Structure 1
Amino acid sequence: MKNSVILGSLCSFLLVSLLAALAIGAVTIPAQDVITALWQYDAQNLLHKIVLELRLPRAILAFTAGAGLALAGMMLQTVTRNPLADPYLFGISSGASFGVVVLFAATGLHTGLWLSGAAFLGSVLAMSLLLLLAASTRNPRVETLLLAGVALSFLFSALTSLLLYWCDPEAISAILFWSLGSFSRASWNWLWLPCLTVGLVAGALLLLRRPLNALLLGDEGATTLGVNVPKLRITVLLLSSLVTAVLVAGCGGIGFVGLMIPHMVRFFLSQAKVIGVVATALVGGLFMLWVDIAARTLLDNQELPIGVITSSIGSVFFLALLLLKNRGTRS
């Protein structure tokens, strides 16, 4: 009963949030006009065009990005048994950004498929280096993986800055705006790619739910239950890299979402169940929808980068999490 109430509340709030995302912006559109645009679209009506051609694909992309990053964070936290795991902290996001900047600086290509491919290669490179560092240690601890991920994140950020130094000024401005995170590039032409990727990864996560739950018992316990731990860990890391890469290619660098959302959901639901996975995706999407609304409305005639807002919130959340963890260890 409790799970049904929570899930119903999230779905209801999602409808309200989508309506708000379509109505609120530089031009405020009444809710009645938004509903009319969705049901009886008139191509000659300017407000209808704003709703259907600008705000709706942007809202879908924001929700998809939030859901995908939240699921990526949940997967990383499960396979590493580290509550601080996040695509941003593990260097996956920085590696994906590096791959995109290499492609953009070398060829000037900026289409969705090419960017996604370059971002995936960059994220796989980052994850491979992380796994090599872990393999070089006899008894790798989760803290070591986290520190190695932070170091890789700084490394790829430095390489990205070096590439930007050699680019022409016009490319630099475009790349810098993209790297700060934004949903302004949302378009019906390529929106299918992030939606399909997040949907497939979510489905794979549901199929792998039982072996992932066994992994929470430890490698030895999971092996005893018949789980191929190395194969499962590599599979989940690749899935996390894939969804992060596609979202980074489309939205730029957006950090800390994968860290915060799984923790928020754990306060109310067990992520070992199907509803926990669904709730994580919904809460992540809702969070990103309202971050996008804030980015479009906090400043008059200006748009704040999405990554700036999420990093500001996430850094405070990260510090609070560390303080709570330290207090729990002392007691």
Structure 2
Amino acid sequence: MTKSKFAILVSFSVLSIFCGMFFGAAQLDLAGIFQCISHDCASNVDEAIFWQVRLPRVLVGFLVGAGLAVAGATLQNVYRNPLADPYLFGVVSGAGLGASIATLLFNGSLASQSSLFAYLAQIPFSYALPLSAFLGAFFSVILVQILSKRLFGERTEFLLLAGVAVSFMLSALSHFLLFMAEPFAANKVIFWLLGSLASAQMWFVWIMLPVVTIGVIVLWLYGRHIDAMLLGDENAQTLGIKVDSLRLLVLMICAALTSCIVAYCGGIGFVGLMIPHIVRGWFGVTSRSLIIGCVFVGGSFLIWIDVVARVIIENQEIPIGIITSAIGSIFFLFTLQQSRGR
């Protein structure tokens, strides 16, 4: 990646973060934003809007887009599959199942059924939610690996099929829990599963930031190893790459990134599928350049998708996961057609 391209990415990302703070139900003009940045807001209302709503929302949106895009790009390179995505690998469904269990538990739907659930409900929710999501994503990853090897041997091209099957199964379990839960708790979880940045708070940023940063840095450091796997498992092994260990490490990092995002923002699908393909057209397939590009393009993309979700219908907000799924489904078919033609 050249310095000029890197400068363009950084500038566009900063501009996206800044412009994203203009849009919302309440009016906040340019002067008001600069006053709040300098800690001299014109009113308490402007201060609350800027520091408690707009700024956390755009920062969380950037981290969510960056994390999902990097996870998708890395999975696509490691498995040499252009259709690989955390959503299609079952990672999001697993994290969603874990987060649904935690949400229902802390709403009292499960706590009244068992003394064990009542004891677990004493754990602080801010810790239990991401932990439950990660355990669900980890379970999904292990299950996909086991099914893929048992049914298809070492043929990684069939891993996506196992991921889709596991995704449907875990989604069915989530729906069953919602069916058995109290209506109020179930409605809350259903809205959350659609994916939204509406509840974003600044402490979300402080939890997501280290997870996304560490995940991106580790994947960037292993960039050359991931590039070797683009040549095939046998060629990578001749270069001294421990293929199985590296693949498991990448899956765990992607599970951590995805589970943290799903835990606080719900299911936002297809970002990890679309953005890497767009970035490859600009920066090539080299993993390190691809990862850096996905951080900025993915983060900026989700900020603008969230802006669309806020303004497309007057006085109403569309869950962001609906928009990304609608765009992503079309993109998925387009990518599938291209893959078939090769």
User: TM range, normalised to the smaller chain?
Assistant: over 0.9
1:247 and 2:261 matched:
yes
1:59 and 2:58 matched:
yes
8 A Cα contact 2:63 2:299, kept in partner: yes
Match of 1:215 in 2: 229
Deviation at 1:178, TM superposition (A): 0.6
Give me the TM-score of the superposition, normalised by structure 1: 0.95
1:144-201, Cα deviation, whole Å (9 max, x unpaired): 2111111111111111110001100110111011100011221123421111100000
Match of 2:80 in 1: 81
Match of 1:180 in 2: 194
Give the distance between the partners of 1:239 and 1:112, measured in 2 at CA: 21
1:33 and 2:32 matched:
yes
8 A Cα contact 1:38 1:52, kept in partner: no
1:323 and 2:322 matched:
no
Give the distance between the partners of 2:317 and 2:287, measured in 1 at CA: 38
Deviation at 1:275, TM superposition (A): 3.1
Give the distance between the partners of 2:42 and 2:148, measured in 1 at CA: 56
Match of 1:69 in 2: 68
1:30-50, Cα deviation, whole Å (9 max, x unpaired): 222212211233384322321
Give me the TM-score of the superposition, normalised by structure 2: 0.92
8 A Cα contact 2:237 2:243, kept in partner: yes
8 A Cα contact 2:70 2:272, kept in partner: yes
Deviation at 1:270, TM superposition (A): 2.3
- Between stretches 194-203 and 73-82, larger displacement belongs to 73-82
- Partner amino acid, structure 1, of 2:277: H
Deviation at 1:273, TM superposition (A): 5.3
- Counterpart selection for 2:126 from 99, 112, 116: 112
8 A Cα contact 2:32 2:42, kept in partner: no
Match of 2:110 in 1: none
Deviation at 1:102, TM superposition (A): 1.5
- Between stretches 211-220 and 240-249, larger displacement belongs to 211-220
Give the distance between the partners of 1:38 and 1:132, measured in 2 at CA: 51
1:266-290, Cα deviation, whole Å (9 max, x unpaired): 0010242533321111000010000
Deviation at 1:135, TM superposition (A): 1.7
1:5 and 2:29 matched:
no
1:196 and 2:210 matched:
yes
- Partner amino acid, structure 2, of 1:314: G
Give the distance between the partners of 1:28 and 1:143, measured in 2 at CA: 50
Match of 1:281 in 2: 295
Aligned residue runs from structure 1 range 10-29, under 5 A: 10-29=9-28
8 A Cα contact 1:180 1:306, kept in partner: yes
8 A Cα contact 2:220 2:287, kept in partner: no
Deviation at 1:138, TM superposition (A): 5.3
8 A Cα contact 1:183 1:251, kept in partner: yes
Give the distance between the partners of 1:111 and 1:215, measured in 2 at CA: 39
Give the distance between the partners of 1:200 and 1:289, measured in 2 at CA: 22
1:301 partner SS:
coil
Aligned residues between the structures: 327
Runs of 4+ in 1 over 6 A off after TM superposition: none
List gaps (5 residues or longer) in structure 1: none
8 A Cα contact 2:133 2:259, kept in partner: yes
- Counterpart selection for 1:291 from 291, 299, 305: 305
Give the distance between the partners of 2:131 and 2:94, measured in 1 at CA: 12
Distance 1:18 1:107, change over 3 A: closer
8 A Cα contact 2:79 2:157, kept in partner: no
Distance 1:170 1:43, change over 3 A: farther
1:213-244, Cα deviation, whole Å (9 max, x unpaired): 11111111111111111111110100000110
Q: Percent identity?
A: 41
Give the distance between the partners of 1:83 and 1:179, measured in 2 at CA: 25
1:106 partner SS:
helix
Deviation at 1:15, TM superposition (A): 2.0
1:265 and 2:279 matched:
yes
Give the distance between the partners of 2:285 and 2:336, measured in 1 at CA: 21
